[in-house]
């Protein structure tokens, strides 16, 4: 590391992400979309770990439908001190490496992904203790949003 490079300092913008940490299980509803024309219910298992000295949260996600684990993902939530935005670096079993960006306000993290087809907006709500709510929506124009997926998760006992 060069002498002019500074090490990040752990601050409340980083520790705010720690509310996502833990093991979570819950029910999801997939809305019909180009990626999932039928939609339907699913179950999810999420393991979020505080990593890199508290500067980020790593996520391992598994979705099960009709008793079969059918979708997997790995993500890293972080705060980019240079831009002042939160980020989610995401790769999933559909082969998509993606970077979502946005803000965390009062326990609600809202991140947006630019895609060739438009945008996806993902929201995690950590305001209720031991509960995590998730919602994702898609938009072709950034003005009109259509639900893609909704999930309600409960923290597993440690």
Domain for residue 37, yes or no?
yes
Which CATH number characterizes residue 24's domain?
2.40.128.20
3 within some domain: no
pLDDT band for position 36 (cuts 50, 70, 90): confident
**How far is Cα 99 from Cα 83, in angstroms, rounded to an integer?**
14
pTM of the model: 0.92
- Cα gap 33→115, rounded to integer Å: 15
Residue 123 confidence (pLDDT) above 70: yes
Query: What is the extent of the structural domain holding 137?
Result: 12-155
**What's the whole-number average pLDDT of the chain?**
93
Residues 6+ apart with CB under 8 A from 135: 122, 123, 125, 147, 149, 150, 151
- Phi and psi at residue 126, in whole multiples of 5°? -110, 15
Residue-level pLDDT at 87: 98
Whether the predicted pLDDT of 7 surpasses 90:
no
Whether residue 73 is predicted with pLDDT greater than 90 in this model: the reply is yes
46 falls within a domain: yes
Confidence grade of residue 157 (pLDDT, cut at 50, 70, 90): confident
Contact 58, 52 (CB under 8 A): no
On whether residue 7 sits in a domain, the answer given is: no
């Amino acid at each position: 590391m060069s002498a002019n490079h500074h090490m990040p300092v752990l601050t409340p913008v980083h520790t705010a992400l720690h509310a996502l940490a833990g093991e979570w299980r819950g029910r999801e509803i997939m809305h019909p979309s180009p990626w999932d024309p039928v939609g339907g219910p699913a179950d999810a298992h999420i393991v979020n770990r505080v990593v890199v000295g508290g500067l980020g949260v790593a996520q391992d996600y598994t979705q099960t439908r009709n008793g079969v684990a059918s979708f997997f993902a790995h993500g890293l939530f972080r705060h980019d001190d240079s831009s002042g935005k939160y980020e989610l670096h995401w790769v999933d079993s559909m082969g998509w490496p993606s970077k979502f960006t946005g803000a965390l306000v009062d326990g609600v993290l809202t991140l947006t992904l630019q895609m060739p087809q438009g945008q996806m907006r993902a929201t995690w709500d950590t305001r209720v203790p031991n509960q995590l709510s998730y919602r994702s929506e898609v938009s072709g124009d950034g003005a009109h949003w259509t639900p893609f997926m909704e999930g309600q998760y409960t923290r597993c006992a440690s």
